[in-house]
Chain A
Amino acid sequence: MSEVEDVKVVATVDSLFRAHYGRLVRALTLACGDREIAADAVQEAFVKAHMHWRRVQNYDDPVGWIRRVAINRLRDDHRRQTRKGKALQRLAGEPQVEEVDQQAFDSDLPAILAQLPKQQRIAMALFYVDELSIAEVAAALDVSEGAVKSYLHQGRSRLRTVVASEEVHSDE
């Protein structure tokens, strides 16, 4: 690769990074409940984009590709952690208990959010925090738009009660 092309590539990925990094980190923080893990996944996705930019830049939606890579990284981490936890439980001889992600927040909203299925959480995060459309969320999760609507409906129904009660408390 020539030096001129290299500079051009870096500049293009740089602009994408500066434009989308913050939003992606915030959305995935909500999805996984850990800001460090979310930031690590997004950075890794941008590194891959940089290393394969000659291919990625020809995609219709390079940012969508980066988002999917980051989400897949989060899923891999989640699976790894789940397997590790189950293995430790088996070694300890304790009964298996469905693990619930512990949130670093004190309100009821993060606790309920943590109890949502992983796919619902990611859909909620992408729709409400990253402000993607339903079609974009469907593309990011590689599911149908109907499935995304189902995720959003179920997640919103559970979270809405908490949000409403907090609004009542704040009004008082």
Chain B
Amino acid sequence: MSEFHDPDLRNQLGQLSGPYPDDNEAFAAWQRRVGQARRRRAVAWTTGAALSLLFGTVAVAALNSPGHNTLVPGKADDDSSVDVSISTTTEAEDSSTVESTEPSTTDSTVVDTTPVTEAVDTTVPETEVEVTIVAGDGGGSNSGPSKQHGTPTSAAPGPAVASKIFSSTGGSITVSQNGDQLTITVVTPAAGFRAEVDQRSGRHVEVTFKSNDNESQISVRVINGTMQPEVSDKNRKHDNTVPDSSESANHTSGDD
């Protein structure tokens, strides 16, 4: 028997505690609270899972975004022209055509690079070079082409080299001229087109762009010391050849 055994006190305190509660009513109330707790837990888990999925998706998207660039040292050779561009670029950002302050001695070179970009001839003309260069398609970046324009402050004397861009429906090409010799430096097919270089260099160069429905051909020749393009767009289904004027096809002039 415990020293604290006290039946009277137990009875008095038992009366103060009141009667036993209704078990069935209490049980029903408890079941309702259990149901509420289960729903709260389910909502919490669902919300947590949804947030985790959302954050995971955002993180993956951020890692795969074009702005998330990484440098690949192995591609450095492809960007040799970039060094030239950086050293010569001083102004004329965001201009597609750069006008020289000395037209009589100025040539401008506009080089567009794309996935089919070929090596850019970085030979420096005697007076002026304007370069638009895009880092090679390697380097871990999947960003689209970007341009940099620049005007060199000095150039070594040598034979004049001019480059021009000629466009057609199927794409555009950049042709450099060195005397009577033409060289295709850049071939840029439009979306859905593929390029076939028929004649890459010489006194006459020619490229054909083909898609399922259309075919465009750009042919450039040297006539009287200047490049003269001949552009034709043709619907392969209807076989309608629409020759363009040589002037309208000339996008960029380096001779004016």
Contact surface of A with B, Cβ cutoff 8 Å? 14, 17-18, 21-22, 25-27, 29-30, 35, 39, 43-44, 46-47, 50-51, 105, 109-110, 113, 124-125, 127-129, 134, 149, 152-153, 156, 159-160, 163, 166-167
Contact = CB atoms under 8 A, between A and B. Distances in A.
How big is chain B's contact interface, by range?
20 to 34
A163 B12 contact: yes
Nearest to B38: A51
B94 interface: no
Given A43-B29, A152-B4, A159 B9 contact: yes
Interface of B: 2, 4, 6, 8-10, 12-14, 16-18, 20-21, 23, 26-27, 29-30, 33-34, 37-38, 41
Looking at A113, A134, A163, A167, which has the most chain B CB atoms within 10 Å of its CB?
A163
Contacts of A149: 4
Nearest to B24: A18
10 contacts: A14-B27, A17-B30, A25-B26, A35-B18, A50-B37, A124-B13, A129-B17, A134-B2, A156-B6, A166-B12
**Is chain B's interface secondary structure helix, strand, loop, or mixed overall?**
helix
Given A47-B30, A128-B10, A39 B16 contact: no
Contacts of A39: 21, 26
B5 to A, nearest CB: 10
A156 B33 contact: no
Contact of A129 (B14, B23, B30, B33): B14
A112 B150 CA distance: 95
A80 to B, nearest CB: 20
B21 A156 contact: no
Given A43-B30, A152-B4, 16 more contacts: A17-B26, A21-B30, A22-B21, A25-B21, A50-B34, A51-B37, A105-B16, A110-B16, A128-B14, A129-B13, A129-B14, A134-B2, A134-B4, A159-B13, A160-B6, A163-B8
A29 B13 contact: no
Given A18-B27, A26-B20, A128 B13 contact: yes
A166 to B, nearest CB: 7
Given A160-B6, A160-B9, A27 B17 contact: yes
B13 A30 contact: yes
